[in-house]
Amino acid sequence: MMTLLWIALGAGIASMLRFAVMTWWPPHFQYFTAVFVVNIIGAFILGIVLTQVHASFWREVLITGFLGGFTTFSTMMTQSAQKRLRRQIGYLLLQTICGCFSLALGLLFSHFILR
């Protein structure tokens, strides 16, 4: 039960952080670029957590809670549904490719720099 509460706390803190990024971002580009940046940062942090955090409790709190609350898959899907099909596919591909690249950078950074 305590693990569930810690996951909820991590998700709540991360959601507030994401909200802060979204409100800080310039309004004209807010919903496209802010979501993109948040997801890329989340993928990078995921790479670090996967290599540096070995305790299952903290992995659950950080990955499921914090990163689950910080990254915005549902927002990305909503934005994609509101755009034309051609733009939607391009946006989803860009998010996916850049997210994978950012995850790989996080893994490499963690492996070579944070050793």
Cα distances (angstroms) measured from residue 9 to each of 16, 62, 66, 75, 90: 11, 10, 8, 21, 34
Q: What does the alpha-carbon distance between residue 70 and residue 54 come to, in Å, rounded to a whole number?
A: 21
User: Can you tell me the mean pLDDT for 53-79?
Assistant: 87
Decide if 46 contacts 103 (C-beta within 8 A): yes
pTM for this predicted structure: 0.85
Q: What does the alpha-carbon distance between residue 10 and residue 14 come to, in Å, rounded to a whole number?
A: 6
pLDDT at 8: 96
pLDDT digits (tens, 9 = 90+) for 39-52: 999 999 999 999 99
Residue 53: phi and psi, rounded to 5, are -105, 120
Task: Say yes or no to pLDDT of 81 above 90.
Answer: no
pLDDT digits (tens, 9 = 90+) for 8-38: 999 999 999 999 988 888 877 666 788 889 9
